Every structure is written in C-alpha cells, then in structure tokens.
Amino acid sequence: MELKNRYRNTESMVGLGNPSFAAAKEAGLLDLAVHNTERGTLALPDGREFINTCSCSYLGLDSHPAVLQGAIDVLRREGTLCMSISRLRVRLADLDHLEEELSRRWRARTIVTNSASSASAGLLPLIASGHLLPDGQKPILVFDKSAHFSMNLIKPICADETHVITAPHNDIDFLEDLCRKHARVAYVADGFYSMGGVAIVHELFRLQERYGLFLYFDDSHSLSLYGEAGEGYVRAAMKGELNERTIIIGSLGKGFGTAGGAVMLGPGHHADLVGRFAGPLGWSQSLSIPAIGASLASARLHGGEELHARQRRLRENVRYFDERVATRTVGEDFPIKVIDVGPEAMAVERSRQLMERGFYASAVFFPIVPKGRAGLRIILRSNLTHEDLRRLCDALVELAVPGT
C-alpha cells in the first residue's frame, strides 16, 4: 500500500484551519487594503488609521531616506525594473557589488536570492543529496518540529533523496542520539522562530564539533537585529569564518528593510554548484533592480552607529513591553511576542477589539500554532514611539488579555 501524508496533510490543514481564517476575515482582520500615512500609521479606505504591530521591519529601515533613495537612483540609472533572465547567465553589476558588501560585513560568502523561501527550496534538496556536505555523502536529514513552513514544505522533495526525520523542538538529546547512530546528520532549524523562541545554537555547535553535525539555519527574524554588522543571531554566535558544515539563510525583507533573501556559505560550499542546480536560485526571477539599489544602501548602513542605535532602541522597547505584558519569551530580548489566549474564536475576538483601539495584532491559530493554543502575535519595532507602546500595553491590560 502506498504511504500518504508522511510529511504533510493538506486536507487536515485546510479543514481544521480554514474556519478560523474565515472568522478572522469576517471580523475585518484579513485582506486589509491600506495606504501608508507616513506618520507611523496605516489608513483604511474609510479613513480609520491604525498602528501595525505585525510588521517585521524591526528597525524601520524600510522607510529610511537612504534606502528609498538607493532604489530610486539605481532605477533611474538602469532604466528597467528587472533583467528577466537567470542570474547564472546575465546579472546586474550592482548585484555583485551588493554580494561583495554583504560578504565583507557578514564574514561569509553571501549570495542574494529572490527570497529566503526560494533559497530553502533550492538548497535543502542539495543538502539531502549530499552535494553540499563536505564529503558529498547523503545525510539523515532532521527537521526541527518548529522549523518554518517554508522549509517544512520541502520535506517531500528531500525525502526523495534521503531519509527525513522530524525532531521534537530544541531536543538536543534526541539529536545527539541520532548523531551517535548515523555517520552523517544534517539538522534544519530556525535561528529565531517566527512564533517566538530561539534555537539552542551553542549546544548545536558542540554537537557539530563532536560529531560533524551539518547545520542549516533560517535566521530571517534576526538578520540586522543582532551582530556588529547585523549578521544575525546565529552568525554572531560563531567565531571566525563560517565553517563548511553550516549554511545560514535569511530574509532581506524584515529587519534589513528591503526585499529578497541572502545565503551565507562556508568555504566548502561551491557557489557555482548552488547557482547551477539550486532550482529557483537560478531561474529568471532574480531580485528586482530597485530592490538591489535599496539593499546596497541598507548594506552600507550596516555596521555603522545608526544601525547600533536602532538595535538599542528596539531592545529598549522589548524590555518595556516585557515589564508590562507576560509572555513565554519574557527576557529573551526578542521582538516577536505571542500572547497565549487558548480558543481560536477568543484570539480572533481579542484581535478585533485591539483593532478598535487602533492597533493591528494578528490572531494566530492552527496551522500556524497547535490546535487549541491560539493567541495574539505582536511584533515590536525600534520606530514605535514610547507613547505608542504605552498605549498598546494599556489596551492589552484593558482587554484583560492573559499576561497583563
């Protein structure tokens, strides 16, 4: 008998999750068409304004004058939006300049991609086949249970190459047992998780030193937020060069403030091989030319005092929120805060009530989080004023949201 639903179950996901999405849409929390007011709020067609507490532009660099001007300048100079050809064959010279700038700042060979998701879609099958491992042999491929959907989506493809296992979240004993039993193990995880919490990177590096564990991190949510040059939590935790048993990817569309993705490769990973065989990384969907110009401008801001000042302001806002609202990530210095509510309907109602008070916080429910563990996802930013943050916390207290 053919085995089905070993790695995903779309019928279950849609059947159990769609009623909550429908309720959120009915409550006016989905499909919002807005305009940016340029005064810290978004405006709906009926004139109502709200503060978006779900934006992943953690440092506010998406509206930095230099970043906007970078997009305008390259667009005017080149006179076209995109190259419309695989970067493997023809690419804009400024894309090379961007990769050189990021490689220098982040101390790793950095390749810019159309998105972090496309990077995973291209790289994970090459890891599963062994082509990105130092000895070229296929590993046992282990996904952390909480790894982002964009990586879990690739499990069936990887399973065509090698044996795929799902590990309990952050379970170092489970992973070490696999390392003892198998000569080659590759582990797939987030650096910072989209629903809060951090990978146990130091313990993972110890397993790498002891057993040769191969590590693949999507560190999208910490790029720009951590490190002297905004290299992210995982890269900042490593001393010296990025080693040949580690690959880090991340989104440039969050803290970095622009668009696209980035892949940090160690010395043993062949950039030519990635460009030729990593699927969407070589297709004719390269980063748009304005995004390249904006990213060059953002890259030049990284490592400077302005970046550090924005990092400090973000941490100050996180600490203030933690003092007012209790979440399971209190004290983790991480800007994504999930407030557990419980029933899906209650999460939707609390989000609707918060919207009435001028703040948009997404209701999260299955399949985003486990069934029955719905909540409010609030994202803090450096460009939230202290007054806005105080009013947000006051509104949560007024609504008697758990933890306040």
What is the pTM (predicted TM-score) of this model? 0.94
Instruction: Please determine, looking at this structure, whether the domain spanning 18-52+305-398 carries the CATH number 3.90.1150.10.
Output: yes
Domain 65-301 class in CATH: alpha beta
* One-letter amino acid of 73: D
Q: Tell me: the pLDDT tens digits for 164-196?
A: 999 999 999 999 999 999 999 999 999 999 888
In sequence order, the 6+-apart residues with CB closer than 8 A to the CB of 3 are none
**pLDDT tens digits in sequence order for the chain, 404 residues long:** 456 778 888 888 888 888 888 988 999 999 999 999 988 999 999 999 999 999 999 999 999 999 999 999 999 999 999 888 888 889 999 999 999 999 999 999 999 999 999 999 999 999 999 999 999 999 999 999 999 999 999 999 999 999 999 999 999 999 999 999 999 999 999 999 988 889 999 999 999 999 999 999 999 999 999 999 999 999 999 988 899 999 999 999 999 999 999 999 987 667 788 888 888 888 877 889 999 999 999 999 998 899 999 999 999 999 999 999 988 888 888 999 999 888 899 999 999 999 999 999 999 988 888 888 899 999 999 999 999 999 999 999 988 677 66
- For CATH 3.40.640.10, the residue range(s) in the chain are 65-301
Q: Residue 286 has which token pair? A: 């390269």
| 253 within 8 A of 260, measured Cβ to Cβ | yes
- For CATH 3.90.1150.10, the residue range(s) in the chain are 18-52+305-398
| 139 within 8 A of 162, measured Cβ to Cβ | yes
d(C-alpha 372, C-alpha 390), whole Å: 29
How far is residue 2 from each of residues 5, 6, 163, measured CA to CA in Å? 10, 11, 17
Question: Can you tell me which residue has the tokens 């939590």?
Answer: 233
Cβ-count burial 264-299 (b if 16+ within 10 Å, e if not):
bbbeebeeeebeebbbbbbeebbbbbbbbbbbbbbb
